[in-house]
Amino acid sequence: MAMAASISTPHSTSYSRRSLITSSIKPSQLPSQLKLFRSTTSTIRNPSLRKSASSMGIETAPKAPQVSFLDRKESGILHFVKYHGLGNDFILVDNRDSLEPRVTPEQAVKLCDRNFGVGADGVIFAMPGTNGTDYTMRIFNSDGSEPEMCGNGVRCFARFIAELDDLQGKQSFTVHTGAGLIVPVIQDDGKVRVDMGQPILEAADVPTKLPANKNQAVVKAGLEIDGATWNVTCVSMGNPHCVTFSSKECKTLQVDDLNLSEIGPKFEHHEVFPARTNTEFVQVYSRSHLKMRVWERGAGATLACGTGACAVVVAAVLEGLSERSCTVDLPGGPLEIEWKEEDNHVYMTGPTELLFVPL
Ligand SMILES: N[C@@H](CCC[C@H](N)C(=O)O)C(=O)O
């Protein structure tokens, strides 16, 4: 896919030339089925997004007309924006008129390429609701595979929806995902708290072929990789996670010392994970403070993984290493995670930020 991207200033006379970080890809440089966007100018409608833009040192025009950055549409152009949650970055596509993704998995791979595309860990589609929900979220990983869920992605999705749709004061809505019903709440501070549902622990449902050793779950079980035996706990948050705090050789991991790109793929493609797996390597600072690095299925080493942080706290509780409420430090920043005893649901709270919008 031939395309060029640049950061430039908007040309409209109604805006300060420094009003927004914008991007452009000339439609003529793209195949007709995937023209990305063209030069139209917009402002940010949602006040909390305006706040996050200004916290990035970007000025927004105070008296600009109240139109969304996606209000100006032309057929044949793919309208998207880019958000990140703690450096886990996504291209978000307005797909509210169809349950068919506007981008194929092959095109998603090209869009996610950090040298020859826009660059992202995944492409997320905002779609009409299904099964009685307000919206549906689907996502393609940067390798084109489709995961069931994405924790950082659903926080970005919530802010994207708040920008696209008039929520009439509502700060919460329901989202159908491959992992079932997910409920994000946009807080007054702009962070998003998400009810991530119940963790799945039964080995066959994670899925893993490792034999269950605790109430049908795999907890601190040995997994051989290149002659080392890792102690792993397997948790699904709709998508599969393999969490490790130690190996037989190393009782407490120093996660900064790990060569993730060497070891990560060996977990991801291990035969005991029939759907592949995300893997979290965790260091315990205290019973309420954990540090993790992640190797994501279909995306490699990323700066953060929301479902991964949830799986880490569930695994830490199961291994007796932490309380149910923890701060989890990821390379991109911290997430607050709580595995509530009352309803068995995991709650994740964290930030998102708008990175750029179309011209
Ligand atoms: N980064 C995401 C997880 C995205 C999906 C994952 N790569 C998978 O294939 O399961 C998150 O924040 O949860």
For the structural domain made of 218-343, what CATH number should be given? Answer: 3.10.310.10
**CA–CA dist 166, 259 (Å, integer):** 46
Summarised one tens digit per residue, pLDDT across range 209-239 is 999 999 999 999 999 999 999 999 999 999 9
Q: What mean pLDDT do residues 161-170 have?
A: 91
User: Residue 341 Cα, ligand 1 centroid: separation in angstroms?
Assistant: 25
Question: What local confidence, expressed as pLDDT, does residue 61 receive?
Answer: 44
Question: What local confidence, expressed as pLDDT, does residue 148 receive?
Answer: 98
Q: Confirm or reject: Cβ of 141 under 6 Å from ligand 1.
A: yes
Atom of ligand 1 nearest to the CA of 308: 13
Question: What local confidence, expressed as pLDDT, does residue 290 receive?
Answer: 98
Given 150, 234, 242, 326, which residue is catalytic?
150
Q: Confirm or reject: Cβ of 358 under 6 Å from ligand 1.
A: no
| 112 catalytic residue (yes or no) | no
Candidate of 124, 125, 138, 149 to mutate for ligand 1, largest count of ligand atoms within 8 Å of Cβ: 149
Summarised one tens digit per residue, pLDDT across range 306-335 is 999 999 999 999 999 999 999 999 999 999
Question: What local confidence, expressed as pLDDT, does residue 31 receive?
Answer: 38
Higher-pLDDT residue of 255 and 35 is 255
**Which of 4-18, 74-88, 117-131 shows the lowest mean pLDDT across its residues?**
4-18
Q: What mean pLDDT do residues 189-193 have?
A: 97
Q: Domains of the chain: which residue ranges?
A: 81-196, 218-343
Position 79 confidence tier, pLDDT thresholds 50, 70, 90: confident
Does pLDDT of 151 surpass 70? yes
Percent of the chain with pLDDT over 90: 75
Given 156, 234, 242, 305, which residue is catalytic?
305
Question: What local confidence, expressed as pLDDT, does residue 168 receive?
Answer: 87
Question: What local confidence, expressed as pLDDT, does residue 70 receive?
Answer: 55
User: Residue 212 Cα, ligand 1 centroid: separation in angstroms?
Assistant: 24
65-68's contacts with Cβ under 8 Å and 24+ in sequence apart are 65/14, 67/42, 67/43, 68/42, 68/163, 68/164
Summarised one tens digit per residue, pLDDT across range 4-36 is 232 222 222 222 222 222 233 333 333 333 444
Higher-pLDDT residue of 11 and 170 is 170
Residue 275 near residue 207 (C-beta atoms within 8 A): yes
Asked whether this chain's domains 81-196 and 218-343 adopt the same fold, the reply is yes
Q: Confirm or reject: Cβ of 307 under 6 Å from ligand 1.
A: yes
Does pLDDT of 263 surpass 90? yes
Position 356 confidence tier, pLDDT thresholds 50, 70, 90: confident
**CATH topology classification for 81-196:** Diaminopimelate Epimerase; Chain A, domain 1 (3.10.310)
| 326 catalytic residue (yes or no) | no
Q: What mean pLDDT do residues 116-145 have?
A: 97
- C-alpha 214, offset from chain centre: 30
Q: Confirm or reject: Cβ of 298 under 6 Å from ligand 1.
A: yes
Q: What mean pLDDT do residues 24-49 have?
A: 38
Q: What mean pLDDT do residues 153-170 have?
A: 94
Question: What local confidence, expressed as pLDDT, does residue 357 receive?
Answer: 80
Residue 86 near residue 350 (C-beta atoms within 8 A): yes
Interface pTM, i.e. ipTM: 0.99
In SS3 terms, the chain reads as CCCCCEEECCCCCCCCCCCCCEEEECHHHCCHHHECECCCCCCCCCHHHHHHHHHCCCCCCCCCCCCCCCCCCCCCECCEEEEEECCEEEEEEECCCCCCCCCCHHHHHHHHCCCCCCCCCEEEEEEECCCCCCEEEEEEECCCCCCCCCHHHHHHHHHHHHHHCCCCCCCECCEEECCEEEEEEECCCCCEEEECCCCECEHHHCCCCCCCCECCECCCEEEEECCEEEEEEEEECCCEEEEEEEECCCCCCCHHHCCHHHHHHHHHCCCCCCCCCEEEEEEEEECCEEEEEEEECCCEEECCCHHHHHHHHHHHHHCCCCCCEEEEEECCEEEEEEECCCCCCEEEEECCEEEEEEC
Q: Confirm or reject: Cβ of 155 under 6 Å from ligand 1.
A: no
Q: Which one, of 311, 359, 355, lies nearest residue 335 by Cα?
A: 311
Residue 213 near residue 251 (C-beta atoms within 8 A): no
Torsional class of 210: left (φ above 0), alpha (ψ -120 to 50), beta (otherwise): beta
Does pLDDT of 105 surpass 50? yes
